[in-house]
Chain A
Amino acid sequence: DIQMTQSAPTLSASVGDRVTITCRASQTISDWLAWYQQKPGKAPNLLIYKASTLESGVPSRFSGSGYGTEFTLTISSLQPDDFATYYCQKYDSYPWTFGQGTKVEIK
């Protein structure tokens, strides 16, 4: 099975910072990649799919890029509501695997 690895388990940042989270697939997955935001006690929320397509209703400060095995989620200017845990997920075939998550904390 393809494994998904996120660059760091935690990331400390301040409001207004540009934040980049990296996700690597153990094999190529084309652009079959999604990003989710999850807050404590809540279900995940889809942010990005097809590696770079913004889900409806998601603020434009979120963007995604990448293809093959290397992907990034960027928050252009971190807002107070963005402190949360972020997961990448590959969905080229089952099993749909998630990265281990990156928690964005207040610096």
Chain B
Amino acid sequence: EVQLVESGGGLIQPGGSLRLSCVASGFTVSNRYMSWVRQAPGKGLEWVSVIRSVGTTAHADSVKGRFTISRDNSRNTLYLQMNSLRAEDTAVYYCARELFDREDGYNHGFDYWGQGVLVTVSS
């Protein structure tokens, strides 16, 4: 059974740093594209970062230069290192696995999500 379990959230002051973790089970993280998606309180969904199976990464403009996505293959765990945090980074952060369609060989949206972890940036 596929499971994603996030941890590492909490209250942090503006300018501070935090690292989120997402432990995966039921599949191998390094074989799939994995993303972080966030949702500010009462707002919609915002894609944040992706790490591809080959290890390359991409980030939303809103977090570029401040956030870094990575993984530890030995721990089957995804990470999001968040630096220089701002009030507007306050959100529930989800890790999510991209759906891989064997018929066409492409990824199509997110088929599994974690339960989410709340990050609150406030003084």
Residues of A within 8 A of B (CB): 1, 32, 34, 36, 38, 43-46, 49-50, 53, 55, 87, 89, 91, 94-101
A-B pairs under 8 A by CB, number: 59
Query: Would A46 and B94 be within 8 Å (CB), given that A87-B45, A101-B44 are in contact?
Result: no
Specify the chain B residue showing the minimal Cβ separation from A38. B45
Do A34 and B109 touch across chains, with their CB atoms under 8 A apart?
Answer: yes
Q: Is B28 an interface residue (CB 8 A)?
A: no
Q: Does any Cβ of A come within 8 Å of B111's Cβ?
A: yes
Q: How far is the CA of A45 from the CA of B111 in the complex (A)?
A: 7
Say whether A43 contacts B115, CB under 8 Å.
yes
B113/A98 in contact, CB under 8 A: no
Interface size on B, residues (CB 8 A): 22
List 20 A-B pairs, Cβ < 8 Å: A36-B110, A43-B96, A43-B113, A43-B114, A43-B116, A44-B45, A44-B110, A45-B113, A46-B99, A46-B109, A46-B110, A46-B111, A50-B108, A55-B99, A91-B109, A94-B47, A94-B50, A98-B44, A100-B44, A101-B44
A96 and B113 contact, CB distance less than 8 A: no
Q: Which of B36-89 contact A (CB under 8 A)?
A: 44-47, 50, 58, 60-61
Instruction: Decide yes or no whether B107 CB sits under 8 A from chain A.
Output: yes
- SS of B interface (majority): strand
0/1 per residue, B88-119, Cβ < 8 Å to A? Answer: 00000010100101000001111101111000
Whole-angstrom distance between the alpha carbons of A53 and B102 in the complex?
14
How distant is B58 from chain A, measured CB to nearest CB, in Å? 5
B21 in contact (CB, < 8 A): no
Given contacts A34-B110, A91-B107, 5 further A-B contacts (CB under 8 A): A45-B113, A46-B99, A91-B109, A98-B44, A99-B44
Assess whether B120 is interfacial by the CB under 8 Å rule: no
B55 to chain A, nearest CB (A): 15
Contacting B45 at CB < 8 Å: which of A1, A50, A94, A98? A98
Closest residue of A by beta carbon distance from B45: A98
Residues from chain B with a CB closer than 8 A to the CB of A89 are: 45, 109
A-B residue pairs, 10 tightest by C-beta: A34-B109, A43-B113, A49-B108, A98-B45, A96-B47, A94-B58, A49-B109, A101-B44, A100-B44, A95-B60
